Amino acid sequence: MANKLVIGIADMRLSNDPSAVLITYSLGSCIGVSIYDPVVKVGGLLHLMLPESKIAPDKAEKNPCMFADTGVPLLFKEAYKYGADKKRIIIKIAGGAQVMDASGFFNIGKRNYMALRKIFWKNDVLVSKEDIGGNVNRTMRLEISTGRVYLKVSDSGEIEL
């Protein structure tokens, strides 16, 4: 019986329980970041909302998971506590959708993605799989026993990322 752990908006969970499944629903312009170390079999899932914490530093202090630049470092730090190694960590990301014709003011999805790329590049880590953009709604699920990540995109069936 899978132990389902639900991650809300601006939230994050980690686990090394082989029966655990981490799931986050309804990623619009938000991005789900899944990390997994296949050796120690620990995984984490972050549901970030916005790119940069400078927009509300006090709020970022209360909940770092809200922003890419504070949430991602925290996700990795927590994984290290479980014995994860940066070199082994597999990163998969999904979300960052846009409303239509979002050329100007409504491109938060794209900005979330750009912020993530910058953070990963600076820290010398690579994203192994991603499903980003479009105007769809995504649900993301990480299986701790296998490290597999599954995606449900809008109303279509589930696919492996």
Partner 1 sequence: MKDLRTITKDIQELPPLPEVAQKVFSLLNDPKSNVQDLVKVIQLDQAMTANILKLCNSAYFGLKRKISSLQEALVLLGQKKLHEIIMTDNSGKYYKKAGLGYNLEKGELWRHSVACALLSQILVRKTGLPEDPFLFTAALLHDIGKVILSTYVKTEYDQIIRLVKEQQYPFLQAEKEIIGIDHAELGGRVAEEWNFPKALAEAIAQHHVPDTENYISCIVHLCNLMTIMMGIGTGYGLADYGKDAVMKKLGLKERHLESCMVELWHELQKAEEMLKC
Contact set with partner 1 (CB under 8 A): 9-10, 25-30, 49-50, 55-56, 59, 63, 66, 97-109, 111, 134-137, 154-155
CB of 11 to partner 1, least distance (A): 10
Q: Is the Cβ of residue 11 or residue 78 nearer to partner 1 in the bound state?
A: 11
Sign of CA dihedral 78, 81, 83, 88: positive
Fill in the DSSP letter of residue 66.
G
CB of 29 to partner 1, least distance (A): 4
Q: Cα(38)–Cα(12) distance, rounded to whole angstroms?
A: 19
Ramachandran area for residue 130 (φ above 0: left; ψ -120 to 50: alpha; else beta): beta
Of 30, 89, 93, 153, which is the active-site residue?
A: 30
Q: Is the Cβ of residue 39 or residue 99 nearer to partner 1 in the bound state?
A: 99
CA dist 153 → 74, 130, 137 (Å):
27, 13, 6
Q: Is the Cβ of residue 17 or residue 61 nearer to partner 1 in the bound state?
A: 61
CB of 130 to partner 1, least distance (A): 18
**Known catalytic residue: 30?**
yes
Whose tokens are 């990301």? That residue is 93
Which residues are marked as active site? 30
